[in-house]
Amino acid sequence: MLSLAIFAVYRQTLVAFDLLSVSSMSSSQILALSCPDRPGIVAAVTGLLQSAGGNITEAQQYNDPQSDMFFMRVAFDIDDPLAFRGAFDTLSKSFNMDWRLRDASRAKRVLILVSKFDHCLVDLLYRTRLGELDMDIVGIVSNHPRDALRISNLHGAPFYHLPITKSTKADQEARIDALIEETDTEIVVLARYMQILSDDLTHRLIGRCVNIHHSFLPGFKGARPYHQAHRRGVKMIGATAHFVTPDLDEGPIIVQGVEPITHADTAARLVAKGRSIEQRVLSRAVKALIEDRVFLNGARTVVFD
Amino acid sequence: MLSLAIFAVYRQTLVAFDLLSVSSMSSSQILALSCPDRPGIVAAVTGLLQSAGGNITEAQQYNDPQSDMFFMRVAFDIDDPLAFRGAFDTLSKSFNMDWRLRDASRAKRVLILVSKFDHCLVDLLYRTRLGELDMDIVGIVSNHPRDALRISNLHGAPFYHLPITKSTKADQEARIDALIEETDTEIVVLARYMQILSDDLTHRLIGRCVNIHHSFLPGFKGARPYHQAHRRGVKMIGATAHFVTPDLDEGPIIVQGVEPITHADTAARLVAKGRSIEQRVLSRAVKALIEDRVFLNGARTVVFD
Amino acid sequence: MLSLAIFAVYRQTLVAFDLLSVSSMSSSQILALSCPDRPGIVAAVTGLLQSAGGNITEAQQYNDPQSDMFFMRVAFDIDDPLAFRGAFDTLSKSFNMDWRLRDASRAKRVLILVSKFDHCLVDLLYRTRLGELDMDIVGIVSNHPRDALRISNLHGAPFYHLPITKSTKADQEARIDALIEETDTEIVVLARYMQILSDDLTHRLIGRCVNIHHSFLPGFKGARPYHQAHRRGVKMIGATAHFVTPDLDEGPIIVQGVEPITHADTAARLVAKGRSIEQRVLSRAVKALIEDRVFLNGARTVVFD
Amino acid sequence: MLSLAIFAVYRQTLVAFDLLSVSSMSSSQILALSCPDRPGIVAAVTGLLQSAGGNITEAQQYNDPQSDMFFMRVAFDIDDPLAFRGAFDTLSKSFNMDWRLRDASRAKRVLILVSKFDHCLVDLLYRTRLGELDMDIVGIVSNHPRDALRISNLHGAPFYHLPITKSTKADQEARIDALIEETDTEIVVLARYMQILSDDLTHRLIGRCVNIHHSFLPGFKGARPYHQAHRRGVKMIGATAHFVTPDLDEGPIIVQGVEPITHADTAARLVAKGRSIEQRVLSRAVKALIEDRVFLNGARTVVFD
């Protein structure tokens, strides 16, 4: 454990060093913010960027007339991101902003939790290697041993077998929690991890933990959704990627996908078809998350494509 | 009422006359059947057709391993459909078949029930005129007066204003029921008819009455589903065409459709987007029904495309 | 002709009066602009809006790294739109902007051209009446007489029968051109108008004239695309809404849609399925156009959803 | 080479042995046939099945009114498949049938050709291991060396590096051809194999060789289709799985798929999005092929879902 803690400190030092080292050349940054809506936000943000020599390469905003909240994502190039960070910190206070600013070239640190159904894991790893998903997989956790997974090569991602029983549930979760701390995990992906996280951990991960549910929520909550769908005789099945919250299967939805089925599809075929949908939906949600495109908006989300 | 009754008799006479008159030339027929599965059904049916000089133009079958039921639809040309009907009647008994045989050139008689939301009615009428839907609209019933509908021209379809109040509900339904009888209605379409039919009428219409529900069932049952969908923050909305049963919103599903939405879609925009989906889904279900492509299979359906 | 000319003058007076009359109360405006990309555009535009007391309700921008062009659409509320217009005119010059600013509450003036295939016209009219399409249909032109259309009620839109023969083609187009002038038409919709406009008229309408092509371009250019698709044995068919340019079927694409088909779909069924796709695709394109969401970007378009 | 030839003989012996060994117990068989259409085919086939004690579990047929050809696929259980095979052989002659009959439990032998783009290979291997694709991968051929592929584990499938240059093209193809012979390959899958097969080999593989083309054919034939699509500014991209024929990119289409894109998608993002579509489309086509669901019908296909 000590070594992991030291590693985390080392990592943070690197991050700080990163921020310093880039200060002398142009850097790509991503700013994501939300705040109560009021006139002048876009002008203030883009005005500050302009005066700091920033050049916007992509920008999106949305104001929700119902919650009266404002959401904005700006990608920009700038010579002195540290100076901008300081100036923006001041500005953010006057608008009561919740915000993140980061170097776009630094991949997000992602921890993947999985059971023995590993099709989503396989897909996430392959897309990461292709460069489609720009993320740093700091670990793969499973409650099953390594050889319960079909996948043969984790490509260097550390694997943690953290078995779980009724009596060890709290312990196991504490180890996950420690792992999140030690690896500076920014995003936790439940890639068909069939265990329920505690309310406490869920609370601390709000807005950072995504789950793939194998149904088109809110239909077919609970267990064995494809079998439920087959029994109900629906003509389309789907999958839902959502933020994890203490309310099981009620978390804010990020991405959904569906495919048509027919009367001739058995429950087993629905499971097979569903795997493709789950892969597609989860990878889209993870991509949106690691690119800072997803915002919590009460029980809903804002997702900037 | 008397005149309607006479009209119905006249109509039945015509139907009988039709059957006689076509007996001397080749006729296109559609046979739809279901029965407990067992070996030899297809051979028996196609063998009988072959010996009767029939020529199959389209055939589909499905045996459900769960319900152990067999479903078949055959379209064929035959010189003497009446003789085949007699022979098939005998055959059907030995297989305990539930079956329908009809002249493909005769349009089905359809009664459409509507409230003041008439987008589905508009779509059904237009597709009927284009020839996409080959049906005989024997009447349009609304609980609102004619001028509550936006549509300007019903193209000759009789309009019946049958208002409803709590105290007249039973009466009003009796009038619908009488209309179904008098017009020899084969299919009843609830094209956004916002009233609930009684269990008794529903029972008698089982397998013949289709409703369009403005949600992707089983999600968002009940009232104002688009507003429910908006509150839940789903990323796709849909519509469901289903057989009407006494269990509200639980009828066997015939067709479903969805479209993606985003955080920027207000509830009002969901309603607008939903209208297109409802039109598309209901017209597909009606087309399948009037072409004898839909079979009840317990709580589910078999739909032969 | 004189009366039409007078009517056009009257109309322009009304527009001018509109602009004056709204100057004393808050008004919703839409600003659409494009210009060569360079740092500071967003800051300049939103800064000017902020200092003029404008409140942004929706904003989107995109800079194309290939063409190095910048595109922006801003919807905002403002008390004095005329003052802002003046100030923006000055600003726009320094950025070499191509721009439009208009009162969001004023419906765009749209002229629809149609042959005897009227399914798209039917759909556009119905969506207009529902309020989904906020447009002022200033006229419907057909080269066929009124009774060649199936639609029974044009709901007050003036109908112009402008027949065309080889020898009268230039004359007929001159009359269309005059109609566009006299009615102050802003958008011309070719809703399955089977005639080819001259290069000259096409040039003058660039960015303002949309056509629905009944194939998934660039596949199946030219005549009878559904029959081409059937012969080629594709498994999906589609439709394309595009800006009209002198290069037939090569105009910048605005919206495309597809649907799956099977081997069992005859060419006639493709035509029928295609009608639904055409309706959906054209109405989405028209909606984007009348809401100033579409920008020309060389041979391509930018479409802000 | 000798050993491969011996292995092939051994394999065929096993196949013959298979056929013998199953003759004493119920066996699942798949019959796929096509022939000129005429009355009585279904009755003859199902009648023979019935008299041979077969039990149909799935059946589909289609008669193409244009080519006047009939297509049928029947899955059935039977105690004595060898006896049925003999009887069917006789029957088939009287209908001039082209047919295949095989034990459903025996996986088809598939050879996969690939360049260094291995996303489709990865997907095919994973689905095979999951049991979604029931096939026996007899080999993987690449013109690039093993380490040019990203995939780390071929799970026992033999890998053949067959490099190609202009001068060795004929030789290389001869080696592929020999491999097909020696391994008794039934289906050849070009899983992004960027080389063109000779007319001669193509001819001999007609109906047995599938290619994935990374565009929605017939749009964007030829090289770099995603770049073509980007330049043309289409709003949807797709992929096409088709039979390989001497006419490049003109082979009969089996499966197509599309996804929406926007102006903001760069050519690089189209390539990335396209990979998912290619995987999905190719795996669906391969599944249909190994389950004997695909029939050639002139320049088109019949695909029974």
Q: Is B249 a catalytic residue?
A: yes
The tokens 């999106």 sit on which residue?
A60
Q: Does D57 touch chain B (CB under 8 A)?
A: yes
Q: Does D272 touch chain A (CB under 8 A)?
A: yes
Q: pLDDT-based confidence at D5, cuts 50/70/90?
A: very low
Q: Check residue A158 and give its pLDDT.
A: 97
Is the confidence at residue D7, as pLDDT, over 80? Answer: no
Q: Does D234 touch chain C (CB under 8 A)?
A: yes
Is the confidence at residue C24, as pLDDT, over 80? Answer: no
Testing the interface with B: which of A70, A73, A235 to mutate, by most B Cβ within 10 A? A235
Q: Residue D43 and residue D40: Cα distance in Å, rounded?
A: 5
> For residue B28, which of B103, B118, B128 has the smallest C-alpha distance?
B103
Q: Which residues of C touch A55 (CB under 8 A)?
A: 39
Q: Residue A63 and residue C132: Cα distance in Å, rounded?
A: 22
> Residue C36, preceding bond cis, omega within 30 degrees?
no
Instruction: Among B126, B150, B275, select the one facing C122 at the smallest CB separation.
Output: B126
Q: Does A153 touch chain D (CB under 8 A)?
A: yes
Of B175-184, C11-20, C58-67, give the lowest mean pLDDT range.
C11-20
Q: Check residue B222 and give its pLDDT.
A: 84
Burial class for D217, CB neighbours closer than 10 Å (0-12, 13-18, 19+)? buried
Q: Which residue has the higher pLDDT, C19 or A89?
A: A89
Is the confidence at residue C267, as pLDDT, over 80? Answer: yes
Is the confidence at residue D185, as pLDDT, over 90? Answer: yes
Chain D residue with the nearest C-alpha to that of A133: D272
Q: Residue C238 and residue C216: Cα distance in Å, rounded?
A: 4
Q: Does B28 touch chain D (CB under 8 A)?
A: no
Q: How many CA atoms lie within 13 A of D131 on its CB side?
A: 6
Chain A residue with the nearest C-alpha to that of D264: A305
Q: Check residue C16 and give its pLDDT.
A: 42
Q: Check residue C151 and give its pLDDT.
A: 84
Q: pLDDT-based confidence at C305, cuts 50/70/90?
A: confident
Do residue D65 and residue C266 have CB atoms under 8 angstroms apart?
yes
Q: Check residue A6 and give its pLDDT.
A: 46
Which residues of A are marked as active site?
Answer: 249
Instruction: Among B238, B263, B299, select the one facing A300 at the smallest CB separation.
Output: B263
Query: Following DSSP, what letter does each residue of B185-227 receive, concatenated?
Result: --EEEESS--SPPPHHHHHHTTTTEEEEESS-TTTT-SS-HHH
* D200 φ/ψ sector (left φ>0, alpha ψ -120 to 50, else beta): alpha
Residue pair D231/D215 in contact by the 8 Å Cβ criterion: no
pLDDT tens per residue across span A164-205: 998 999 999 999 999 999 999 999 999 999 899 999 999 999
Instruction: Using the Cα atoms of residue B282, residue B287, residue B289 and residue B290 in order, give the sign of their dihedral.
Output: positive
Is the confidence at residue D58, as pLDDT, over 80? Answer: yes
Give chains near B: 3+ CB pairs under 8 A. A, C, D
Instruction: Among C153, C264, C280, select the one facing B153 at the smallest CB separation.
Output: C153
> Nearest C-alpha of chain C: how many angstroms from A12?
33
Residue pair C304/A304 in contact by the 8 Å Cβ criterion: no
What is the percentage of chain D residues whose pLDDT exceeds 70? 92
Do residue B49 and residue D43 have CB atoms under 8 angstroms apart?
yes
Q: Check residue C10 and give its pLDDT.
A: 43
Do residue D152 and residue A153 have CB atoms under 8 angstroms apart?
yes
Q: Check residue C130 and give its pLDDT.
A: 85
Q: Check residue C5 and give its pLDDT.
A: 46
pLDDT tens per residue across span A116-128: 999 999 999 989 9
Residue of B123, B177, B249, B265 with catalytic role? B249
> What is the residue type of D156?
G
Mean pLDDT of chain C: 90
Chain D residue with the nearest C-alpha to that of B51: D40
> Nearest C-alpha of chain C: how many angstroms from A54?
7
Q: Does A55 touch chain C (CB under 8 A)?
A: yes
Q: Check residue B197 and give its pLDDT.
A: 94
Q: In 10 A of CB A279, how many CB atoms?
A: 28
Average pLDDT over residues A100-125: 95
Q: Check residue B150 and give its pLDDT.
A: 85
Q: Check residue D232 and give its pLDDT.
A: 93
Q: Residue B271 and residue D84: Cα distance in Å, rounded?
A: 58
Q: Which residue has the higher pLDDT, D248 or B230?
A: B230
ipTM: 0.88
Q: Residue A162 and residue D155: Cα distance in Å, rounded?
A: 27
Q: Does C129 touch chain B (CB under 8 A)?
A: yes
Average pLDDT over residues C29-38: 96
Q: Does D59 touch chain B (CB under 8 A)?
A: yes
Mean pLDDT of chain B: 90
> What is the residue type of C234?
V
Is the confidence at residue C171, as pLDDT, over 70? Answer: yes
Q: Check residue A19 and give its pLDDT.
A: 42
Q: What are the residue ranges in chain B where pLDDT is below 50?
A: 1-24
Q: In 10 A of CB C26, how many CB atoms?
A: 14
Q: Does B241 touch chain A (CB under 8 A)?
A: no
Q: Does D39 touch chain B (CB under 8 A)?
A: yes
Q: Residue A72 and residue A295: Cα distance in Å, rounded?
A: 9
Distances from the Cα of C18 to the Cα of C13, C23, C29, C82, angstroms? 8, 9, 13, 11
Q: Check residue B151 and give its pLDDT.
A: 84
Residue pair A174/A141 in contact by the 8 Å Cβ criterion: no
The tokens 């299967």 sit on which residue?
A249
pLDDT tens per residue across span D109-160: 999 999 999 999 999 998 998 889 999 999 999 999 999 998 878 988 999 9
Q: pLDDT-based confidence at A114, cuts 50/70/90?
A: very high
**What is the helix, strand, coil percentage profile of chain A, to 5?**
40, 30, 35
Average pLDDT over residues D268-272: 91
> Nearest C-alpha of chain B: how many angstroms from D49?
8
How do B108-114 and B187-190 pair as beta strands? parallel
Do residue C152 and residue B150 have CB atoms under 8 angstroms apart?
no
Chain D residue with the nearest C-alpha to that of B44: D47
Burial class for A93, CB neighbours closer than 10 Å (0-12, 13-18, 19+)? exposed
Q: Does C165 touch chain D (CB under 8 A)?
A: no
Do residue D46 and residue B43 have CB atoms under 8 angstroms apart?
yes
Testing the interface with C: which of D263, D277, D282, D297 to mutate, by most C Cβ within 10 A? D263
Q: pLDDT-based confidence at D22, cuts 50/70/90?
A: very low
Do residue A234 and residue B255 have CB atoms under 8 angstroms apart?
no
Q: pLDDT-based confidence at A17, cuts 50/70/90?
A: very low
* B35 φ/ψ sector (left φ>0, alpha ψ -120 to 50, else beta): beta
Helices (DSSP H) in D115-190: which residue ranges?
A: 119-130, 169-182
Q: pLDDT-based confidence at D70, cuts 50/70/90?
A: very high
Is the confidence at residue D40, as pLDDT, over 80? Answer: yes
The tokens 């889209």 sit on which residue?
A284
Size of interface A-D (CB pairs under 8 A): 34
Do residue C42 and residue A63 have CB atoms under 8 angstroms apart?
no
Token pair recorded at residue D79:
């105690």
Q: Which residues of C touch A62 (CB under 8 A)?
A: 58
